[in-house]
Structure 1
Amino acid sequence: MIAAPLPAALPVPGTPFDAAVFAVPVGNPALLQWEDPREVHRVVVRLRGPGDPRSVHLEYWTSRWPRQRLPKDREPGGGDVGWWELGNWHTGGWRRADTEARTEGSAVVFTFRPVNAREVPEAGDFAARHRFTLKLRAVADDPDVRVERIEAFTDSVWQRRAVRVVRRGDPKPLQASAHNGFVEAVEPRGGRDAVLRLLVASNTDPNTFDRTLVTLGAGPDSFTFRPDDLAAGPIVVPHAGTAITEPDDVRTYGQIERAARNGRKSLVDHIAERPEQTWKRAWAGVPAKRSPIYLPLGLDGGRQRFRLNSDGSVELRTNDHYLRARPGRDTPRLDWEAGPVRFDFGLPDRPVHRTLVDETLPLCVARWEAGGVQVQQEAFVAPLEGIRPGSPPPAGDATAVLLARFTLHNPGGTQRLAELRLSRRAGDREAPLSVGIPGGILTDGRHVRGQVECGNAPERDGGSLRWRWNVGPGERATLVVKLPYVMLAHEEVAALQRLSFDDQWRAVSSWWRARLDRSARLLTPEPMLNEFHRAHAGHLLINCEREPGARVRFARVGSFGYGVYGNESCMMVVDLDRRGLHEEARECLDAWLKYQGTAALPGDFSSQDGVLYGAGGYEAGGYNQHHGWILWCLAEHYRFTRDRAWLKSAAKGILAGAEWIVRERARTAGRNDLARGLLPAGSLEDIQDWWPWLSTNCYTWRGLDSAAWALGQLRHPEAPRLRREARAYRAAILAAFREAARRAPVVRLRDGTCVPHFPSHVFRRGRTFGWICETLEGAIHLLITGLIPPHSREAEWILKDYEDNLFLSNQYGYSLANFERDWFGLGGMSMQSCLLLDVEPWLYRDDVKHALRALFNAVAVGYFPDVRLLTEHALPNPGDWRGDHYKTSDEANAMGWLRQIFVREAGETLLLGQAVPREWLRPGAKCGLERAATHFGPMSVVYSATVRAITARLEGPARNPPRRIRLRFRHSEGALPVRVRVNGVAWKAVAGDWVELPGGIGRALVRAEYR
């Protein structure tokens, strides 16, 4: 039995906890640096030398504290805290502490004055007499002062406690060490058991980072536990065959584990036992949407978009900074009118009905009830010069015009007074308009703001124009308004007047109908999903903005505020490729290649040469994973298209992107800590703290590995070296995060056992703060990117932890008032339900029930069926919405999952029908995917079911066929086929519900027959 070496003098129980003992060694006695922030209450600086101790002052490292601070009486929860940041070693600054100092011999003792007194007056009534920091230093004005060491005391106190370690089997000698504590003794209790005598930090603050952690063992088999977790019962770690319990517990390991489990199961196990989730059940199980969402309207590739609100009002000019960043024909016009601009029509907040033309096209029809009158609005966007069916998309800076027709109908038996108002705000100020009679031209006195077509002249009512009609029973009145995105010159009035609502309604409908017909087609028994899949193609084309004067597009992840966020934009681009819209995907990728190296990522990097992030001023977020995502997406585009000429043109940029990773990793190769061999520290998704984040390294490795593959397709001479670099990078990531998992305390599952936890960055000993860092950017990315095998025990630990502790929790996911009732229908997703690719690991594992639950729940919680779009965040609670829409990255992931349940590539194997819901294969049902692009070429697969058979009509890919095709028949009752025929011939290559087919089979009719 071995305990880690102890210091010469142990702390006395009941005395304050000195966090300096557990600081990171930095080789400077005047500086303390911690892996986690500490709440420091008192500091003792011990000096040597002849200098004047009164010349010493304290400085602490800070960024957001105290403006952003953790409570001391509860664990903060909810969606908003996900954006909180706790600081890092790189960004922030030193602040001189406002202290009281006294000299005690060769030491100076510092206590803190209230932080709001002098340091941060804007902290209000937060009069903290402590400082929350990752770094602390003593600074002397007298050069003769020498700091011997610093002691930093928190509000924790030392306490003795004992724990019993119980093991099964024939274990090795027990080794024990502690962080934020000491192992005073290891007392053997028989051959397998021991009692650890510990000195631990005690604190009632649930958010303190002083918690004592004890590590048992050394090397790959070691793990860490937190003694405080014994408050919830024994800590049972099955993979290590070890339990930690109270010292007076005399049970064996087996008895402790059985009692801990006591018939309980993890949610992963419960899901496997429950009936398969269906779309209907998922939709019925989510809360009703509490408020209607807006609808973006725009042109294919256009950068002028309109926000059509649920009250019929229109907002525009909310993204002027992007239009100024890439000047176009529209840019000078921005100065003609202050933005943002809003037009109101005086209608109620909620329509009684709202839908899209063909349920999928970006033309909206809404109806309100107002004073006994039905008001219908039909709205869409057309170019100022109009559009013709079959014409190419207009230029990105083409003037877009929103056309809206209002029809006021009196359904009653008596005459009604109907009215419609028009008011404008520009730059958040009322901006009245004048209307010319005849012609209905709207002006501000200098420029043309639009046109109104109506038989009635309006009245002025304050800042509004008001039209009134006496509408008889069954009669209707109409008004058409045309609103260009930018003010027009008077010579453009004729073009505006020629823009016929009826003609353009038909032309724009026809144009979008043909455009969406080019995309892959989803066929399911669920109209909502079919409509969403088709409508999303339009969302992609609207958000992928064409650069003025160039053949590139900027894949903006939101229609209004959001720019090009590389990782999320790649989600859009790969969906364009999955749909067969390869030209549009290439134009998006070419934008990154065009602007490669023009923008730096925020991080501890030596250069931006080769960085894939810049997008002509549209780049946004600074997420360090952007670079790896874009490298991967470049290679993925080649997998989908096999466009060798394009790959040759992109090879220089791909190589430069790969070399940036190699260079930056080389800078950490000499480190002696866990960051060795990783990408240097940088920012995360929406989190500006710089750390060596797990997700960043996962996607950067995937990008490097993909770049090596792509260059290998060209037999590029650098490809072999890059393959070696990618292998070395993978090994470094796994070594670093496996060691980080050994240092982090195990986490308890709902089945009563505990499993290791992979932190979100290598220096964090446990959970990172907030749902973004811990859930959205957590350990599951090791599975998503393929760094660890999907069937490994590590994968099982990660997935069970996500389901049991993260997706549904106070701090890291949704908190449920009635857990037993709602966990199945509201679990399996993050608080940004379709951004995290958590469906895919379940597909990799072939856990279909889990995949379908995650997919259907994630879409249902965020989907708005009237306008066929998905909200970014169902926050603060399910039923709410928040974000910038269309949120095409999140939508693209959802569409990708719907595609993958029918068609998924697994290396050189093509999987068809892997996760088709059993309900969709009931007798009489038909489902499938047509015109789908794959790594092997375009293909289609459509299932149809009868009572005794399921038939799959397959048009297999022929361009570069896969090695094999695996076609699955998921019978509605779980039955296995008794016979399979391929093109009428009996087929023997059947394993369970899978049928093995040659990769080059081409067209085939596969029939599975049942008893």
Structure 2
Amino acid sequence: MRHMSYLKDLFALVRGCSFKVVSVTSVCTAILCLGSSGSGQIQISDHPELMLNVQQAWGVLGLNTAAHAPDRPGARLQIGDRVFDKGLGHHASGAITVMLDGAFSTFESFVGLQPCGNGNGSVVFRVFVDGEQRFDSGLMRASDPARLVRVNVEGASELRLESDDAGDGIDCDMANWANACLTPSDQPIASSDSPVDIVPFGRVVAFDPNRHDGTRANRIEEFPAEDFMLSTDLVPDRAGVYRVPVSSNNIACIGVEWLNRRAIKSMSLELLSGAALSASGRTRVQAWFGESLWQGKWHDLEGQIERDGDRLIFVAPVKSPSGNLLRTWKVRWLIPAVGDVVMSKAPVVYTRSRWTTGVFRVELCRPGGTGATSHLPNRATIEVIDGLLIGPEDGKLASVNPTAVTVRYAKPSALLSELTTLRIHRAKETTSVAVEDVLSKGAVYVPSAGVLVCLGDRPTTVQEYLRQVAEQKTILERVRSMPEQTLEQAMSRTHHPAQNEGPVMLSLACDNAKVVVDRNGDLRWHTFPTSDSDWLGKAASMRVQLASKEKVTQERRLDGGWLPVPVITTKSGPLTLVQRTFVAPTDAPESKPFRLNRPSVCVVQIGLSNSAPVATNTDLRITFLANSQSNEPAEITPADATTCAWWVKDKQNIISTVSSDSGSPGLKAKVSGGALVFQGDLGPHTNLSVTVYLSLAGQPIPANASPAQLFSEVERYWNSAIGSATQIKTPEPFLDDVIRSSRVRCLIDARSEAEGERVAAWIAAMAYGPLESEAHSVIRGMDYLGHGDFARRSLDYFVHRYNTNGFLTTGYTTFGTGWHLWTLGEHWRLTHDTNWLRANASEFARVGHWTLRQIAKTRRSTSTGAPVRGFGLMPPGVLADWNAFAQHFCMSAYYAAGLRELGNALGAIDHPDAILFDSASRQLADATVRAFEATVKEAPVVPLRNGTWVPFYPAQAHTPGMVARSFPGEDAGRSWAYNVELGAHQMVPTGVLHYSSPRTTLMMEHMEDVCFLESGWFDYPAADNERDWFNLGGFSKVQPYYCRNAEICAMRDDVKPFLRSYFNSLASLLNQETLTLWEHFNHSGAWDKTHETGYFLHQTRTMFVQERNNELWLAPFVPSRWLEDSKQVKIDNAPTFFGPVSYNFESHISLGYVDVTIVPPTRNPPRQIVIRLRHPDSKPLRNYELDGKTKQISKKDESVIRLKPADKPIKIRAFF
């Protein structure tokens, strides 16, 4: 009820005042005073509506608690020994921005770290007031006591509370702002007069007053056609009057819809006729709250509607229904009506933005550079978005001299409600420049448009500007001029040791009996068959512990460099403990050792040695739990009375056997609870050997096989698995091991069904399962390296799961359906498996027809007949974790690629729908590009490091600009990644946007210059990236492999940038001990993330083999140092669209030549075979010998040799 009394006072305040000058601060202050303490202070944690923006590296902000995971409560706030009842529990790195609006005089808080885990947290606390730093704590640790901060904020608009991770990672960086208080000011508050009505920057629309929510489809359901357009455009007559339709229950509804959330302050509506304001029904004001334009609900806004003649006036509350600051995409008036129509003027809406007036200079010049349009006229018009053009009144820009442009603009703010933009139209070209960019940089020059915008009080010309930036270069320009990146340097500079954390999974290929081996050697496995996703919760476990008072060191590696056989060595004084674990097949290998569904057993070999010349007291324990979750100990009993052997049992079965062999009589074995203990003296230079067999999923333990025999079978098995596919040998053995191990990881992490006929390509060893989207990275990567049988079985797993509607989901997205079609089409290109294609053609076509039905849902027009935004694209949906629906250009591009590949494959068997799908693919691709280009014009330009500004590349049809600005902090702080990793660049590898287009060029430049050097998720802070841009750039900073920049570099034949991205991305995620890849940085997310591995494998194949239309390129991106003298590269049995190819080259560079042998594809030969040979010292090729004849090299192709296809091996000697 306190709010109602406040509202009455507020309305009394605004009555009789001009509607335009109702103060934002009066609204803010009145609400804040309601929550002030006896001291006059208010706790920020009690007023989340004050927080404009919250960003943090982990978890969610704790209100009166510590930061915490989204699904768990936060702990009580604590700094040192002091506990606090109030405050903000933050987590570095990040910031909390608080709205002040001039209403406060002082901010104060105690700062310090929450006790956490290992206690190694380190944070720097900073306070900024209107962008000016007012406090810096210096480095604080968990052991430091609380420190009081008091800052003057008199007259300020915004307060920013920043927590920095101190540059050493984010572990335990729980940053508390305890008792964070604001003291209201006793000074008069400056009013914000002349605000700008924001209705012209949205759509005036009619909503169905009886519909109170958006789509009810969830992320894995088909999007209903009726939910695509939830409003109808209203078109005014010449007098600016709208005819508002009336529903059957006599309610008229008029509203406004914007493309981003607006911080509504007040609204008004002038009614001319048809309204029944005195009727029993009441007029209501509602706002839309939810995840997107399509997902949400209408809520009545608290407050009274005042009437001033025919005008209705409403002052919006500060709080939204969720308790945060009210920000919304849509507002609407619901008006009782008589008759069939209500006549109304346009609504008027004001926001909480603060406004001011500025003068800018706009100069037109001749367009130049990448993407420039020739023959543009020397004239233009200007309009202002989210602001007001004061002059020139006609909006015309002078053709000769710079034009002074006066603009009423929204002050830059974390409110993120309005972004005032100058939109310059020059013939068909439109360029948008954000005022805040001009304010911060002084000038914005867009060469492709021939436009310079600068501050009126700091004028410059195009020529002066170009002189200032003449020495600046983009990142890619610098990369191309530098030595190539190497794996050695990337592992030294890009790789962080934290990535070496994490377990490893063992099994046979695609087998359902798994073992997980932790870094310390702990094992978990299932003693019974299961497909439960809560795998670890029901697992048995085994732990090997060496008790020691001396310093312990540990290292881990893979036996043979790449085999799935982790070897963990622990040293303590003279004792060395070695634990080697592997899963081996237990049946006869027969003629085909690598086959699915072979029975298996896990073998753990434990060796303890004493290097001392005297006996050493030893305590070695092997502990078994029948259920690791409930800590249920296993039963250990002697196998017989005469041998050193034991049985390990759960309640019903033998789950393990143990045997030992020791030449040290002083070392005795005994059973203690669920542990087998070896205690006593281990003699000098003596060994203890223990062999443990684990029964996997209830399979019998072999009675007679020796560990040596089983290990031999393991080697034979995995060599056969790799030997049947593409063989890769480079001068770098470590890379060869990573490539082999990566393929093994995809095979091990997969599961199977139907006796192995169908394979579930899991996207991580122990997480997520075979997602219908990301699994196709695994399938594709394996397919391109010759594992076609794995790919086919994995595709069949999904074909078996097409639903009755005709699309695919395993519970994550519908986006994966497009990815699936694309992948199966490429599988056909690689294998030409006609029998498989014919057997599944009708099912593939059914999915194609479902796709066409979805596209038809968005082919809608406005009331004037114009195509709606998003016309002809796939309906709104999700791409990954983030649940906000959007018309992602990435999604439509994947479906366009899927339809194209489907049409191509079906055309090979003369399927009647092949032409239909091919045509639909082109239509969808065209629609995607049209929608993208329209949105590009609306988005403010962005800077490159060479001083120029270029068009932005929006990711969504309804988000013209950066996703992070429209959705700040969403998707756990990753919303910015939707412009980068799942953004518009995905149109390039899908073939929707051409790889050589100016859009692609500028997109790649900006991602390298800006996006790839921003702070990463969990690691790679921006300051470090800037200092070491070569080694810490070239990859995106959430999930590097989602971003397909390396693939685009390859399409563009950009060698050095490709190599840099290839090696840096790998080094950033690689576990150097297990040769697996993490999902994120700082050993975060899923370990052994095969979704990332699949991309790495595809990039690897691209390094060695690449199709370019009708040409087959060999060694297109092989590092030049691999041609140093006596080095060799050998590729065998690489599948291509033309058939399998093999080649090798051996360098005799000291003698001036390289010998090359090629076994060309013969299934459908390419037009040309091109092999690239790049000299380590950049010397050009002179000529080459073929069949005893000398052939000259074109100067244009000084590093490549072009050959005609042949049906026999080709041998050449290339001379430099």
- TM range, normalised to the smaller chain? 0.7 to 0.9
Q: 1:833 aligns with which of 1031, 1034, 1040?
A: 1040
Q: 2:446 aligns with which of 237, 249, 263?
A: 237
Does the CA contact (< 8 Å) of 1:318 and 1:560 recur in 2?
Answer: no
Structure-2 residue corresponding to 1:687:
882
State the 1:476 CA deviation.
1.3
Q: 1:912 aligns with which of 1089, 1103, 1114?
A: 1114
Which aligned pairs between 1:150-161 and structure 2 lie closer than 5 A? Answer: 151-161=348-358
Structure-1 residue corresponding to 2:543:
344
**Inter-CA distance 826–317: structure 2 relative to 1 (3 Å threshold):** farther
**Inter-CA distance 265–465: structure 2 relative to 1 (3 Å threshold):** same
Q: 1:470 aligns with which of 681, 693, 700?
A: 681
Q: RMSD of the TM alignment (CA)?
A: 3.2
Post-superposition CA distance 1:900-919 (Å, at most 9, x none): 22211112110112221111
State the 1:958 CA deviation.
1.6
Structure-1 residue corresponding to 2:1188:
984
SS at match of 1:240: coil
Q: 1:657 aligns with which of 819, 839, 847?
A: 847
SS at match of 1:566: coil
In 2, distance between residues paired with 1:466 and 1:51?
89
Does the CA contact (< 8 Å) of 1:522 and 1:929 recur in 2?
Answer: yes
1:226 equivalent in alignment to 2:450: no
Structure-2 residue corresponding to 1:195:
404
In 2, distance between residues paired with 1:827 and 1:556?
29
1:434 equivalent in alignment to 2:635: yes
Does the CA contact (< 8 Å) of 2:196 and 2:388 recur in 1?
Answer: no
Q: 2:1084 aligns with which of 862, 876, 882?
A: 882
Post-superposition CA distance 1:784-813 (Å, at most 9, x none): 222222222111110111001111114899
1:365 equivalent in alignment to 2:574: no
Q: Which amino acid in 1 is paired with 2:1119?
A: P
State the 1:462 CA deviation.
6.5
1:103 equivalent in alignment to 2:306: yes
Post-superposition CA distance 1:521-561 (Å, at most 9, x none): 21211111111111222122223322133511111111111
Does the CA contact (< 8 Å) of 1:451 and 1:497 recur in 2?
Answer: no
Does the CA contact (< 8 Å) of 1:872 and 1:883 recur in 2?
Answer: yes
Q: 1:50 aligns with which of 266, 277, 286?
A: 277
In 1, distance between residues paired with 2:873 and 2:845?
19
Which aligned pairs between 1:141-220 and structure 2 lie closer than 5 A? Answer: 151-169=348-366, 171-186=377-392, 191-205=400-414, 208-217=416-425, 220=428
TM-score for both structures, normalised by structure 1: 0.86
1:621 equivalent in alignment to 2:812: yes
Does the CA contact (< 8 Å) of 1:450 and 1:481 recur in 2?
Answer: yes
Q: Point out where structure 1 has 5 or more consecutive residues left out of the alignment.
A: 1-8, 64-86, 121-126, 326-330, 599-608, 875-879
TM-score for both structures, normalised by structure 2: 0.72
Q: Point out where structure 2 has 5 or more consecutive residues left out of the alignment.
A: 1-17, 22-191, 208-252, 367-375, 640-644, 662-666, 862-866, 965-974
In 2, distance between residues paired with 1:400 and 1:410?
33
In 1, distance between residues paired with 2:764 and 2:588?
25
Q: 2:576 aligns with which of 361, 368, 374?
A: 374
Structure-2 residue corresponding to 1:279:
487
Does the CA contact (< 8 Å) of 1:746 and 1:756 recur in 2?
Answer: yes
Post-superposition CA distance 1:678-699 (Å, at most 9, x none): 1111112222211110111111
State the 1:962 CA deviation.
0.9
1:422 equivalent in alignment to 2:623: yes
State the 1:568 CA deviation.
2.7
In 2, distance between residues paired with 1:356 and 1:253?
60
SS at match of 1:784: coil
Structure-2 residue corresponding to 1:763:
958
CA radius of gyration, larger in:
2
Which aligned pairs between 1:559-598 and structure 2 lie closer than 5 A? Answer: 559-597=765-803
**Inter-CA distance 511–392: structure 2 relative to 1 (3 Å threshold):** closer
Does the CA contact (< 8 Å) of 2:204 and 2:254 recur in 1?
Answer: no
Structure-1 residue corresponding to 2:55:
none
In 2, distance between residues paired with 1:136 and 1:354?
60
Q: 2:935 aligns with which of 740, 765, 781?
A: 740
After superposing the two structures, state which structure 1 stretch, 212-221 or 295-304, moved more.
212-221
1:36 equivalent in alignment to 2:260: yes
Post-superposition CA distance 1:127-150 (Å, at most 9, x none): 64x313333445679999989676
Post-superposition CA distance 1:847-898 (Å, at most 9, x none): 1111111111111222223222222222xxxxx2223343223222222222
In 2, distance between residues paired with 1:57 and 1:993?
72
Q: Which amino acid in 1 is paired with 2:1157?
A: R
Does the CA contact (< 8 Å) of 1:389 and 1:508 recur in 2?
Answer: no
Q: 1:254 aligns with which of 456, 463, 478?
A: 463
In 1, distance between residues paired with 2:298 and 2:553?
54
Structure-2 residue corresponding to 1:953:
1157
Post-superposition CA distance 1:90-115 (Å, at most 9, x none): 23444555x34363446353443656
Q: 2:1128 aligns with which of 926, 935, 941?
A: 926
State the 1:736 CA deviation.
0.6
State the 1:765 CA deviation.
1.9
In 1, distance between residues paired with 2:350 and 2:293?
20
State the 1:661 CA deviation.
2.0
Q: Which amino acid in 1 is paired with 2:783?
A: D
After superposing the two structures, state which structure 1 stretch, 48-57 or 747-756, moved more.
48-57
Structure-2 residue corresponding to 1:408:
608
Structure-1 residue corresponding to 2:728:
522
Post-superposition CA distance 1:755-789 (Å, at most 9, x none): 00111101112111234312111121122222222
Does the CA contact (< 8 Å) of 2:636 and 2:671 recur in 1?
Answer: no
SS at match of 2:923: helix
Q: Which amino acid in 1 is paired with 2:451?
A: T
Q: 2:1010 aligns with which of 795, 802, 805?
A: 805
1:941 equivalent in alignment to 2:1143: yes
Structure-1 residue corresponding to 2:186:
none
Does the CA contact (< 8 Å) of 1:311 and 1:351 recur in 2?
Answer: no
State the 1:27 CA deviation.
2.1
In 2, distance between residues paired with 1:407 and 1:833?
40
Post-superposition CA distance 1:419-477 (Å, at most 9, x none): 12314373633111111222522223334332222468865657655343421111111
Q: Which amino acid in 2 is paired with 1:896?
A: H
Structure-1 residue corresponding to 2:1063:
856
**Inter-CA distance 777–288: structure 2 relative to 1 (3 Å threshold):** closer
1:786 equivalent in alignment to 2:991: yes
SS at match of 1:953: strand
State the 1:498 CA deviation.
5.0
**Inter-CA distance 686–825: structure 2 relative to 1 (3 Å threshold):** same
In 2, distance between residues paired with 1:192 and 1:704?
51
Post-superposition CA distance 1:687-723 (Å, at most 9, x none): 2211110111111111111111112222223222322
Q: 1:643 aligns with which of 833, 837, 852?
A: 833
State the 1:1003 CA deviation.
0.6
1:967 equivalent in alignment to 2:1158: no
SS at match of 2:677: strand
State the 1:266 CA deviation.
1.0
SS at match of 1:757: coil
Does the CA contact (< 8 Å) of 1:523 and 1:927 recur in 2?
Answer: yes
State the 1:338 CA deviation.
5.9
SS at match of 1:223: strand
**Inter-CA distance 20–458: structure 2 relative to 1 (3 Å threshold):** farther
**Inter-CA distance 188–515: structure 2 relative to 1 (3 Å threshold):** closer
SS at match of 1:14: coil
With a CA cutoff of 8 Å and minimum separation of 6, indicate the structure with the bigger relative contact order: 1
In 1, distance between residues paired with 2:527 and 2:285?
46
Structure-2 residue corresponding to 1:610:
806
Number of residue pairs aligned between Structure 1 and Structure 2? 928
Post-superposition CA distance 1:297-355 (Å, at most 9, x none): 111111232221110012346999x8159xxxxx9xx9xx9625443333699963322
Q: Which amino acid in 1 is paired with 2:383?
A: S
